[in-house]
């Protein structure tokens, strides 16, 4: 099963969700979408960098598995 790297919005959403674990997912998803669209590129950069780091980590794991 191929897994895709997590995108910046999902990282943002998961962090927001971890702050309010008892809140329904639909409520958090709506709020996250609104917040994300209002964020400028500088505010989003943190999540983009995290997503890129995750992508590099997954690629490295994939290379290691192929070498076995």
Q: What is the pLDDT of residues 10-64, one digit of tens each?
A: 999 999 999 999 999 999 999 999 999 999 999 999 999 999 999 999 989 888 8
Residue 26 located in a structural domain: yes
- Decide if 13 contacts 28 (C-beta within 8 A): yes
Rounded-to-integer distance, Cα 16 and Cα 53, Å: 19
- Residue 41 lies inside a defined structural domain of this protein: yes
How many angstroms separate the CA atoms of 48 and 9, rounded? 8
Is residue 2 in some structural domain? Answer: no
State how many domains the chain has.
Answer: 1
Asked if residue 62 is part of any domain, the answer here is yes
- Collapsing DSSP to helix, strand or coil, 39 comes out as coil
Range of the domain at 19: 8-67
pTM: 0.83
Is residue 1 domain-resident?
no
Answer yes or no: is 36 within a domain: yes
In a domain, 61, yes or no: yes
Q: Which residue has the higher pLDDT, 60 or 3?
A: 60
In this predicted structure, the answer to whether residue 1 has a pLDDT above a threshold of 60 is: no
Predicted local confidence at residue 2, as pLDDT? 64
pLDDT at 67 over 90: no
């Amino acid at each position: 099963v191929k897994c895709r790297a997590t995108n910046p919005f999902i990282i943002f959403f998961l962090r927001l969700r971890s702050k309010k674990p008892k809140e329904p997912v639909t409520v958090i998803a709506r709020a996250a979408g609104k917040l994300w669209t209002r964020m400028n590129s500088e505010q989003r950069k943190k999540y983009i960098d995290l997503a890129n780091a995750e992508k590099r980590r997954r690629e490295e794991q994939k290379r290691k598995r192929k070498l076995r």
